[in-house]
Amino acid sequence: MTALLEVQGLGKRFGGLQAIADLTLSIAEREIVGLIGPNGAGKSTAFDLINGVRAPDRGRVMLRGEDITGMAPYAVVRRGMARTHQIVQPLATMSVLENCIVGACFGRDDLSLRHAEDVAREVAGFLGLTERLGEPAGQLTIAGKKRLELARALCARPSLLLLDEVLAGLNPTEVQRMIGVIREIRDRGVAILMIEHLMQAIMGLSDRIVVLSSGRMLAEGTPAKVAANPAVIEAYLGDASLAAKLHARQ
Amino acid sequence: MIRALRRPTLWLIVAVTLAFVLLPLRGNDVALREGLLLAAVYVILATNLNLMIGYAGYVNFGNVVFFGLGGYTCVWLVNSHAWPLVAAALLAGALVSLVAFLFGLGILKLRGAYFALATIGVNEGVKAFVANFAPWGGSAGIYLSIEAYQPLGGPARGLWIIYFLMVLVMGLSLLASYGIKNAKFGLGLRAIGQNEDAAMVLGVPTRRYKALIYSASAFLPAVAGALFFFKSAFIAPDDAFDLALSTEAIVAVMLGGQGTLVGPAVGAVFYEELRSTLLTAQAFSHFQLVIAGALLLLIVQFVPGGLMGWIYRRWPRMRRILE
């Protein structure tokens, strides 16, 4: 079986900083893969390289066997990969509905305005935004904006969704709700690659975890395996002996 | 299409255009016609500029370059190649659109103030080129002989024909603005205007859309320039590429409400009225430009949505009826 997404040897350098070095990973259909790592590890940059916001210096990105390396983000969306932003990017004076329609009519199916509106309403309903449809997107609460990010991306009807910290800034109730939403999205047949700092959430959600540190892949595996990896603990805690001790205690 | 016929906006556009046709015809009022012709020119410039400023969020400061180039192309075709007016005006529009598309590919990578500066550069560059371009008369410009009016049935009749054509171009500008705003293209443009990076990630083909709208916003102003300078029977670089006219178009857009359909037209007519009143004042020459500058400052500072933006905020129902 060919993987849905295949990333091979991806590299990107900003001046003297090797932001991403030799990143290789693959995602199967309906899989949830967590991408974790300390601040500045290059997680968001990895997303930028995968969905075409930036062109990588080396390496390849394949979606369903098609080489999409360096393709513009709008071309990538058409092929079925959508993403959300860590820092929410609402089209602020446009209504919530219009934001969703943009996502739907420029998404994978290239829908007409009228069909896009149907999809937008349905997806907004799924994310509990129905009551806010007429409001300018800029007036939503932070939780609302996060949900809108997700709604717009879903409106594109992607087969792969890149989620960049959709749980950050939410209160515990909202987090629980969002986790339910993410599971449901996967159950509807969408594969997910997600960046998250909330360890409990991502360990619970992910089928597999990829750990990045200083642009390099540190570990990969099931959540339990990754959590027990001394190198991972060291990357987070910055202390090898403490990491070893913790590991020994487990 | 049938659904569109039920929209009041469409009928409003038709009604305004008809009013422009009928008002001066009653009593053969030539003075009123001349006033309305200028108003139509401002409406055309402002409405097309709004496609860039109001929809796509790109401030085209050198928008007058389309008007001037359209004028030059047409006057030259009529003068040197004896083309009929309408054909010359249409070809002028098409050529200027093409030139705009090519310029657009270059300067639309810039954003914000840099883009605005680049558009001034385009205007000044074209002006300098034309001033040194011998086939177009260099800095002396081109004069049309009275003969040019012969195919239109002499000057008296010809001036009416030009006026009707200008009103037609105005009507088409409003229709185009309406059509674009309510189409997928318009939605994509507004997304670009709000947040270009987000729009791109949402799937809006930003590069293509920006180049297309820059090119489209050049077509009708170029045709208007063709008619305008044919009517003047004279064109020279300083008149054709006058940045003051660019600025006035921006004032009209901001005054009426950028991003709204009817705003720029309302702003244009209002500004033209103000301008013609101030022009006849003896104390100052070009006093209207002082007022225009002050107006622009006040609008940007206190009513960034302009007149229609303000009205729509107070009465949101109006937006659904008029846009």
What pLDDT digit, counting tens, does each position of B284-299 carry? 667 778 888 888 899 8
Helix axes B155-181, B85-107, angle to 10 degrees: 40
DSSP A22-86: EEEEEE-TT-EEEEE-STTSSHHHHHHHHHTSS--SEEEEEETTEE-TT--HHHHHHTTEEE--S
Q: How far is A114 from chain B (nearest CA, A)?
A: 10
Which residues in chain A are contacts of B200 at CB distance < 8 A? 53, 72-74
Q: Are B218 and B97 in contact (CB under 8 A)?
A: yes
Q: Are B42 and B250 in contact (CB under 8 A)?
A: no
Q: Are B259 and B309 in contact (CB under 8 A)?
A: yes
Q: Are B199 and A101 in contact (CB under 8 A)?
A: no
Strand partners, B193: none
Residues of A with CB under 8 A from a CB of B: 51, 53, 72-75, 77-78, 82-83, 85, 89-94, 98, 101-103, 105-107, 112-113, 116, 152-153, 156
Res A247: pLDDT: 65
Calpha distance A118→A31 (Å, rounded):
27
Counting Cα atoms < 13 Å in the Cβ hemisphere of A118 gives 4
Residues whose CB is less than 8 angstroms from the CB of residue B53 and which lie 6 or more positions away in sequence, other chains included? B59, B60, B250, B253, B258, B259
Residues whose CB is less than 8 angstroms from the CB of residue B16 and which lie 6 or more positions away in sequence, other chains included? B171, B174, B265
Calpha distance B30→A226 (Å, rounded):
85
Q: How far is B200 from chain A (nearest CA, A)?
A: 5
Domains of chain A: 1-80+159-169+186-224 (3.40.50.300), 86-157 (no CATH)
Q: How far is A183 from chain B (nearest CA, A)?
A: 22
Give the length of chain A: 250
Q: What is the pLDDT of residues B105-121, one digit of tens each?
A: 889 999 989 999 999 99
* Residue B315 burial (C-beta neighbours within 10 Å; 0-12, 13-18, 19+): exposed
Res B139: pLDDT: 92
Res A169: pLDDT: 86
Q: What is the pLDDT of residues A17-72, one digit of tens each?
A: 999 999 999 999 999 999 999 888 899 999 999 999 999 999 999 999 999 998 99
Calpha distance B71→B236 (Å, rounded):
10
Q: Are A219 and A229 in contact (CB under 8 A)?
A: yes
Size of interface A-B (CB pairs under 8 A): 74
Helix axes B155-181, B30-50, angle to 10 degrees: 30
Calpha distance B94→A190 (Å, rounded):
46
Instruction: With H, G, I as helix, E, B as strand and everything else as coil, classify residue A189.
Output: coil
Res B142: pLDDT: 95
Residues whose CB is less than 8 angstroms from the CB of residue A68 and which lie 6 or more positions away in sequence, other chains included? A52, A61, A62, A75, A76, A79, A81
Q: Are A136 and B316 in contact (CB under 8 A)?
A: no
Q: Are A10 and A24 in contact (CB under 8 A)?
A: yes
Confidence band for B5, pLDDT divided at 50, 70 and 90: low
Q: What is the edge-to-edge ordering of all strands in the sheet holding A66-67?
A: A17-27, A5-14, A58-63, A66-67
What is this model's ipTM? Answer: 0.90
Q: Are B261 and B174 in contact (CB under 8 A)?
A: yes
Which residues in chain B are contacts of A77 at CB distance < 8 A? 201-203
Q: What is the pLDDT of residues A112-131, one digit of tens each?
A: 999 999 999 999 999 999 99
Q: Distances in Å between the alpha carbon of B109 and those of B51, B105, B196, B210? A: 18, 7, 11, 9
Confidence band for A1, pLDDT divided at 50, 70 and 90: low
Report, as an integer, the average pLDDT of A175-203.
93
Gyration radius (Cα) of chain B, Å: 19
Q: How far is A78 from chain B (nearest CA, A)?
A: 7
The answer to whether the Cβ–Cβ distance between B188 and A101 falls below 8 Å is: no
| Among the partner residues B184, B195, B206, nearest to A91 by beta-carbon distance | B195
Report, as an integer, the average pLDDT of B30-50.
96
Would you say the C-alpha torsion B93, B96, B102, B106 has a positive or negative sign? negative
Res B169: pLDDT: 98
Res A246: pLDDT: 66
Name the residue in chain B with its Cα closest to that of A151: B202
Residue B297, number of CB atoms within 10 A of its CB: 10
Report, as an integer, the average pLDDT of B223-227.
98
Confidence band for B104, pLDDT divided at 50, 70 and 90: very high
Amino acid identity of residue B239, one-letter, is D
Res A33: pLDDT: 96
The answer to whether the Cβ–Cβ distance between A106 and B204 falls below 8 Å is: yes
Higher pLDDT, B283 or B181: B181
Q: What is the pLDDT of residues A80-118, one digit of tens each?
A: 999 999 999 999 999 999 999 999 999 999 999 999 999
Mutate to test the interface with B, among A48, A91, A111, A145 (most CBs of B within 10 A): A91
Confidence band for B2, pLDDT divided at 50, 70 and 90: low
Q: What is the pLDDT of residues B228-239, one digit of tens each?
A: 999 999 999 999
Q: What is the pLDDT of residues B124-176, one digit of tens each?
A: 999 999 999 999 999 999 999 888 888 888 888 999 999 999 999 999 999 99
Task: Please choose, from the candidates A222, A178, A217, the residue with its C-alpha nearest in 3D space to the C-alpha of residue A198.
Answer: A178
CB < 8 Å & 24+ apart, contacts of B308-314: B308/B256, B308/B257, B308/B260, B308/B262, B308/B263, B308/B266, B309/B257, B309/B258, B309/B259, B309/B260, B309/B263, B310/B257, B311/B257, B312/B257, B312/B260
Q: State percent of chain B over pLDDT 70.
A: 97
Q: Are B96 and B70 in contact (CB under 8 A)?
A: yes
Res A182: pLDDT: 95
Calpha distance A236→A41 (Å, rounded):
11
Calpha distance B285→B274 (Å, rounded):
14
Q: What is the pLDDT of residues B166-197, one digit of tens each?
A: 999 999 999 999 999 999 999 999 999 999 99
Q: How far is A47 from chain B (nearest CA, A)?
A: 11
Amino acid identity of residue B36, one-letter, is L
Residues of B with CB under 8 A from a CB of A: 183-184, 187-188, 190-191, 194-195, 197-207
Confidence band for B282, pLDDT divided at 50, 70 and 90: low
Calpha distance A19→A185 (Å, rounded):
30
- The helix/strand count (H/E) of chain A reads as 10, 10
Residue B36, number of CB atoms within 10 A of its CB: 23
The answer to whether the Cβ–Cβ distance between A91 and B205 falls below 8 Å is: no
| Among the partner residues A53, A85, A105, nearest to B187 by beta-carbon distance | A105
Report, as an integer, the average pLDDT of B52-79.
96
Residue A173, number of CB atoms within 10 A of its CB: 9
Calpha distance A116→A101 (Å, rounded):
5
The answer to whether the Cβ–Cβ distance between A91 and B194 falls below 8 Å is: yes
